[in-house]
Structure 1
Amino acid sequence: MGILDHASDIFSFESSRKSKKKPMQTVEIKVKMDCDGCVRRVKNAVSSMKGVRSVDVNQKQSKVTVYGNVEPNKVLKKVKETGKKAEFWPYVPYNLVSYPYASQAYDKKAPSGYVRNVAQALPSPNAPEEKLTYLFSDENPNACSIM
């Protein structure tokens, strides 16, 4: 048995070629589409890509959602090749933002229920500066009092 184990180690049948399969993901792109022809052109261009499982086009929101084993930058490039102005979906749902009416976050062109995905103007509640100032606050009953 020792010789067979040694021979199997020498003549291993494992493939030395490693395949890099792209992970399954969702890519959302904002594309200005005026008519059904624009929708059809964008959908056909993206659905012809290798690895695309499905394409969902929402003309009202100007949104294209692509599901599959694709790279986001290649999808964006393919949409731009149709002659349309395109960018990655810049919006997040309204309820996920702590202060949605910040000057950078509020966008009139955003679909209803969405705001821009930007860094918020207000600091987060877990910021260390807030914790230190709360230690010496009059509203904190356990505050340190130095007199």
Structure 2
Amino acid sequence: MGVGGTLEYISELMSSGHKHKKKKKQFQTVNLKVRMDCDGCELKVKNALSSLTGVKSVEINRKQQKVTVTGYIEQSKVLKKAKSTGKKAEIWPYVPYNSGSSLCSSVL
């Protein structure tokens, strides 16, 4: 966590009253698989996710179709925001349903 994130976290702890305990979002990393074909797609996704409250960074690897978002965020909200761009988005790691491997076949 950078100095800015640490200072913000400490500031929020100091300013929050003990009487009104609110569920605090934890600092976390959310990885998504997002279909992006061009620079415009990438920029649209990056701008949308960067606008979410609590987001500290958005990194995109278009070759892998992978988006990494870090901050005081909720996975469900990040996914919803990514989908709001009109792009196909899902939680990483992406495992195709018809991948050919099955846990059940090894048991039988």
Match of 1:103 among 100, 104, 108: 100
Task: Give per-residue Cα distances to partners, 1:84-114, cap 9 Å, x unaligned.
Answer: 011111348xxxxxxxxx7137xxxxxxxxx
CA radius of gyration, larger in: 1
Which residue of structure 2 lines up, in the alignment, with residue 59 of structure 1? 62
Q: Is 1:47 aligned to 2:31, yes or no?
A: no
Task: Give per-residue Cα distances to partners, 1:10-30, cap 9 Å, x unaligned.
Answer: xxxx73111321111110000
Which TM-score applies when normalising by structure 2?
0.72
Alignment root-mean-square deviation, CA: 2.0
Which residue of structure 1 lines up, in the alignment, with residue 39 of structure 2? 36
Q: Give the 3 Å change call, closer, same or farther, for CA 73–59 of structure 1 in structure 2.
A: same
Number of residue pairs matched by the alignment: 88
Match of 1:20 among 12, 20, 23: 23
2:27–2:71 contact (8 Å) kept in structure 1: yes
Give 3-state SS (helix, strand or coil) of 1:73's partner: helix
Structure 2: gaps (5+ residues): 1-16
Which TM-score applies when normalising by structure 1?
0.54
Which residue of structure 1 lines up, in the alignment, with residue 106 of structure 2? 122
Residues in 1 aligned to 2:88 and 2:58: alpha-carbon distance in whole angstroms = 18
Task: Give per-residue Cα distances to partners, 1:52-92, cap 9 Å, x unaligned.
Answer: 11100110000100011111010000011101011111348
Point out 4+ residue stretches in structure 1 off by more than 4 angstroms.
Answer: none
Task: Give per-residue Cα distances to partners, 1:94-147, cap 9 Å, x unaligned.
Answer: xxxxxxxx7137xxxxxxxxxxxxx47435xxxxxxxxxxxxxxxxxxxxxxxx
Match of 1:70 among 66, 73, 80: 73
Q: Give the 3 Å change call, closer, same or farther, for CA 121–47 of structure 1 in structure 2.
A: farther
